[in-house]
């Protein structure tokens, strides 16, 4: 069984560009979560989605950030007009429901 | 509020000794707790979980203890090995699926 797959592993963007982070959940998992992690800190919840629906986006900034989990294809975390403060590791997790979340190895986003 | 914190940010143990990593939480409504291990450059890896109707749960070489009275949980690792060196996070859920992570404890295992 393949685990949670995130790509790219590393992404470099210049200020003002858009960043798209992809997450393919484990097979059979319909729940996807996105977290952000700064160096030497814990993971901060951003958003929780089920297929085609955003369930909880209380941790996601209101502007520039959006997430989707379409019926077909991976979940996408999109950051528009990136700023230096967006530099972080972004982790995706998935679960089949009320089960522990399984994490991918993250996307390291660097903003020049 | 949302707060899951750890008493010890860094823990150094001798190989073969037992390790105890502590975690305090502030939300008395939290009913599900999880411990994760994160190695450098990787995502968190599930270790063990416990629901609020239990006070102890054991896995392979690991035990989680939950004290709801003082809102504290701990992770015990028996016979700590070099491969256990990592950052350990406690996390909590208060209904639903939103998971709040603590700040983490870095475990160093000395050979």
pLDDT, one tens digit per residue, over B15-64 is 999 999 999 998 889 999 999 999 999 999 999 999 999 999 999 999 99
A92: CB partners within 8 A, 6+ apart: A4, A6, A21, A23, A25, A32, A33, A34, A35, A75, A77, A103, A104, A106
Distance CA A10, CA A19 (A): 11
**Residue B4, pLDDT score:** 55
Closest CA to A97 of B94, B96, B54, B91: B96
Q: What is the DSSP letter of A73?
A: S
What pLDDT is attached to residue B13? Answer: 96
**Shortest distance, CA B77 to any CA of chain A (angstroms):** 20
Q: Which residues are within 8 A (CB) of A64 and not within 5 positions of it... i.e. 6 or more apart?
A: A79, A80, A81, A82
Structural domain containing residue B25: 4-110
To the nearest whole Å, the CA of B65 is away from the closest chain A CA by 18
What residues of B are in contact with residue A105 (Cβ under 8 Å)? 41-43
Contacts of B45 in chain A (CB under 8 A): 103
* Direct distance between the N- and C-terminal alpha carbons of chain B, in angstroms, rounded to an integer: 40
By the CB < 8 Å criterion, does A58 face chain B?
Answer: yes
Task: Look at residue A1 in the predicted model and tell me its pLDDT.
Answer: 53
> Which of B36, B49, B103 minimises the CB distance to A41?
B103
Domain of residue B24, CATH code: 2.60.40.10
**pLDDT at residue B7 in the model:** 46
Take residue B31 and report the two structure tokens written for it. 């009913």
Q: What pLDDT does residue B3 have?
A: 45
Whole-number mean pLDDT of chain B? 90
Between A41 and B68, residue with greater pLDDT: B68
Interface membership of A52 toward B (CB under 8 Å)? no
* Number of compact structural domains in chain B: 1
Mean pLDDT by 10 residues, chain A (112 residues): 90 98 94 92 92 92 95 95 97 89 96 96
- pLDDT computed for residue B42 by the predictor: 94
- Name the closest residue on chain B to residue A106, using Cα atoms: B43
């Amino acid at each position: 069984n393949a685990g949670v797959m995130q790509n790219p592993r590393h992404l470099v963007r210049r200020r003002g560009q858009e960043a798209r982070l992809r997450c393919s959940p484990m097979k059979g998992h319909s729940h996807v979560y996105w977290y952000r992690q700064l160096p030497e800190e814990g993971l901060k919840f951003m958003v929780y989605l089920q297929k085609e629906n955003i369930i909880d986006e209380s941790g996601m900034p209101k502007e520039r950030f959006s997430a989707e989990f379409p019926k077909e294809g991976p979940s996408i975390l999109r950051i528009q007009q990136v700023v230096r403060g967006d530099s972080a590791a972004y982790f995706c997790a998935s679960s089949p429901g009320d089960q522990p979340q399984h994490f991918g190895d993250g996307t390291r986003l660097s903003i020049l | 509020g949302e707060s899951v914190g750890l008493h010890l940010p860094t823990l150094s143990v001798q190989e073969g000794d037992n390790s105890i990593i502590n975690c305090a939480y502030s939300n008395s409504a939290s009913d599900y707790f999880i411990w994760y291990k994160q190695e450098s450059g990787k995502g968190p890896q599930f270790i063990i979980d416990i629901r609020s109707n239990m006070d102890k749960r054991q896995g392979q070489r690991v035990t989680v203890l939950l004290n709801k009275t003082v809102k504290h949980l701990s992770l015990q690792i028996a016979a700590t090995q070099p491969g256990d060196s990592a950052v350990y996070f406690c996390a909590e859920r208060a209904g639903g699926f939103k998971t709040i992570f603590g700040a983490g404890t870095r475990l160093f295992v000395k050979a």
